[in-house]
Amino acid sequence: MALTGVPALTSSASAATLKDGRWCNPARGHFPAGGYYGAPRGPYPHAGQDVTNSTGTAVHAAAAGTVIRRGTGVLPGRTGNGLVISHGGGRYTYYGHLSAFRVSLNAKVAAGQRIADMGATGNVTGPHLHFETHSGGLGVTVNPVSYLAARGVDLGGGWPAISPGAVGATVKAVQYLITRRGTALVADGNYGSVSVDAVKKFQSSRGLVADGQVGPKTWPSLVYSLQRGSSGAHVRGLQTVLNKHSAGLAVDGDFGAVTSTAVRAYQSVNRLVVDGKAGPKTWEALVG
C-alpha cells in the first residue's frame, strides 16, 4: 500500500545510525511468559511481543505516521480492538487488545502521542498490549524487541539510546538538560556537531565514555529530579517530553501547578508512582 504524506523515517542525517530519535516505547509493562515473538500459537507463531500492565495503561505511537486501520479484527487472525499505523517505507506497527481508542481513523500521529489504552479485548487471559512491527509491507512481521532495540528503544521500559544525527523532542530535552549543565545550546531538536561536542564534554566530566551517544549510562547523570517550584532549562526539557506524550504544555521552564498536574496525569496512566515529582523513573519513561 503506497501512502503519501507519511514520513519515511529516514534522512541523510540519520543514515549512519538507526538510533535517530524517531522511535519510542509504545507502552510500559513487563513481558509475560509465552508472549514473545515466535511463541507457539496453534498453527501460527506469535506475531508480536506482549507487554503486560493494567487496563487503561497508556499506549503511545511508536513512531510518526498515519492510522490506516482502527476497529475490531483489523488484521487477519488478530482479535479484539486494534490499530495499525503506517510509518512509510513499508513500515507498520500494530497495537492490539485495546480497551479504548484515543485517535481516529486516518489521523496523523506523532511519535509518543497517546493513541489508545491497554486492555483485554478479544482472545486474551488478561490485559496487555500486543505490539507488532511490520517491515517490507503490511503482514511481514519482524521481532519487535530487536527491531526497536536497533532503533535505541527498550520495549517495555528502560533508557533509550540517541546517536549523533538524531532529531525530535527527545533531542530537544537533551539540549535543554545540557544547557542546564552549563553549556548553552539552541534547543532545535537536531543532534548535530555542536550538541554532540557538548554531550561528549559532559560525558568526559562524569567519567563516561565520550562517544556522544546519549544512552543508559549517560541519561541518569544528565537528568535532574524536579518538583513543583523548580525552574530553568531542565524544566523546559521536562515539559518538552511531556508534550511528546500529549500534555500540551507551554514550554516556559516553570514547574508550576499546570506542569505538576501534567506530571501526575502521565505517571497515573503509565502506572508510575503518582507523586508529581519528575525523578529518574519518570524521566526514563518520558524519554524512552
**pLDDT tens readout for residues 86-129:** 999 999 999 999 999 999 999 999 999 999 999 999 999 999 99
Q: What is the pLDDT of residue 38?
A: 92
- Reported residue count of the chain is 288
Strand ranges in 53-118 using DSSP code E only, listed in sequence order? 58-60, 65-72, 81-88, 91-96, 98-101, 108-109, 114-118
Q: What is the pLDDT of residue 17?
A: 83
pLDDT lower than 70: segments of the chain: 1-16
d(CA 261, CA 247): 10
d(CA 269, CA 263): 10
Helices marked H in the chain — which ranges?
144-149, 169-180, 193-205, 219-222, 233-244, 257-269, 280-287
d(CA 214, CA 202): 11
Q: Is 150 helix (H, G, I), strand (E, B) or coil?
A: coil
Q: What is the pLDDT of residue 16?
A: 56
Q: What is the pLDDT of residue 41?
A: 83
Rounded to the nearest angstrom, the gap between the alpha carbon of residue 164 and the centroid of all alpha carbons in its chain is 18
Q: What is the pLDDT of residue 203?
A: 98
Q: What is the DSSP string of 101-142?
A: E-S-TT-EE-TT-EEEEEB--SS-SS-EEEEEEEESSTT-EE
Identify whether the C-beta of residue 111 lies closer than 8 Å to the C-beta of residue 23. yes
Pull the grid cell for residue 286: 518520558
The string of pLDDT tens digits covering residues 203-213 is: 999 999 999 99
pTM of the model: 0.92
